Structure 1
Amino acid sequence: MRDDHLARNDLALHATGLVKRFGDRRVVDGIDLSVPTGAVYGVLGPNGAGKTTTLRMLLGIIEPDEGSRTLLGCRSPRDASDRVGYLPEERGLYPGMKAREAIAFMGALRGLDWSAGRKRAAAMLEQAGLGHAVDSKIRKLSKGMAQFVQLLGSVVHQPDFLVLDEPFSGLDPVNQERLEALIRAERDRGATILFSTHVMAHAERLCDRLCVIAGGRRRFEGTVDDARALLPMKAHYVPHHPAPGIAALLPADAQEDRGGWRFTLPADGIEGMLVRLIDAGYGISGLSIERPGLHDAFVRIVGDAARGEAA
């Protein structure tokens, strides 16, 4: 049953203090999560971080030992199941089914009319450039194509909330592009999308917000720019007249790189240093300011978490 007094227009999912133990091990250790309605939200973390277990608790596939969650206004996630699409980490389709029937079957499990599901399936396959496979049996498809068919089956009923667990795993570059396009199309349709990954490039391009999980705990939550801001920007400077003694005018962490010097951008800005370099006769042949990427921020967050646990 839907708990209307719990529904919040700004949040599709809200979880507090989720804990899951397997034996003596706390696989998930007190995770809080809030996913805004209509957002693409990434759950990032290294292998074994607890991402899949967290997603399964959020969907009600397994119950938490502690904590609570509200999905689409429902205290019990299973009460919202017909409005949810889910692509699990472990892929699996009936190999004897045709692609169109497999998609329609998955839609029927979520309450979609069989005839409507078959029509949508054919249209979706055509739109994804896979129209030639509409009547192909799953066993005849490549691994990547079969995986994409399962992905289409998770959205054929046009869910309000879509959960994708490591959706890019095993896909070739062409199917990765198809998946990114599908995620954007679902977002534009109005769906809220939650996906887990450990590939930073996809999260960097797609996510409105993200969290990083390591060791079963949430270590970061915010936007991609918030994550990047955890690290200082770098500068790459190439002198016009390189000569001995230039290192004395550069920051202490400056290292030679690509015919110039790379260093952390000074806290008080770079202008004063450039004036000194020009006055000393070194000049400027090239200068670029480099923002840290999400990959670098992720390594920093996970590394800090590992060092904290070791301490």
Structure 2
Amino acid sequence: MVPLDPPTDEELTRRAQAGETGSLGLLLARHQAPMRAVAMSLLGHGPDAEDAVQDAALTALRRIGDVRDPAAVGAWLRAVVRNTSRMRLRATRETPGLDGLDFLHLRAHDAPPPDQLIEQHAMRDWIWDAVEELPQQLRLVLMLRHFSGITSYQEIADACEVPVGTVRSRLSQARAKMAQVLLSTASQAHDDASALTEESRHEAVATLQASERGSLPREISELWPQETKLVGILNRPGERIHPVPVMRQTLEAGVRQRLRHVVASRDISIWEMDVTNPVGAVDPCPSNLAWLMFRREGRVQRLRVVFPGPQWRASLQEGG
């Protein structure tokens, strides 16, 4: 039997542009070595070069449709790595590195044509399935860095209560594992990633509304079982505190929260809130906060409330 010739770059690129994620995975695997060589030529050997390659591979997920000459996709991928590496060299501030994943947060008036929307959904589900494969510690820093408003290394360190160096290390590990998982799962079927987020958004809205009414309906009460505990800076050392009484105290103080953004995986949910303080509040709450929830079988086991931003960090350092 005569062996079949492997598909050309042009064939794989056209298939990838048609939404065939397996073809994109093959392309990335085929060109991984030259992509790494470009990164190392600009950034040297080390984690920055590896991060640049991983970021470029993830950028290709979103922008493969931009390739005008499918036969020259290798040159295009190397150019993406080159641009990513140069951005790292001249960066003056920390910004999320998964460039091009803004399509995961599409607004209604930005909706693309149906065929493009199907392709984007396939890519989104592929990415989120890969995220779910990460250990929880790695998944948390990746979700914060690239899918939430808590993006700086210092903010993530504060949220996770670990040193900045640990955040950098976990992000590097997460990106490397993501690249491996994406390549190994490209041809598989993937769950609908939007379902988890929509379910979590519904829970967030219902929780806030029920809290303001003063009682939690059964389905929301089940979200916060007796074993749920508040952890982090709002918890008193040595005490086990349930989140619901703290919610009640906050409402009694006149503080109101409005849901701004939701990020959800199977066992981590992030609810980002805008905060309104009562007029004349002596010790006002910061203008935004986030609920980090760690779940088991859908129920919240631990809740950590975090307050991103330099003003809150300064107050903590001053003993506020």
Query: Same fold by TM (over 0.5)?
Result: no
User: Hey, which of these two has a bigger chunk of helix by percent?
Assistant: 2
Structure scoring higher RCO (CA < 8 A, sep ≥ 6) equals 1
Band the TM-score falls in, shorter-chain normalisation = under 0.3
Q: Name which one, 1 or 2, has greater alpha-carbon Rg.
A: 1
TM-score by length of 1: 0.25
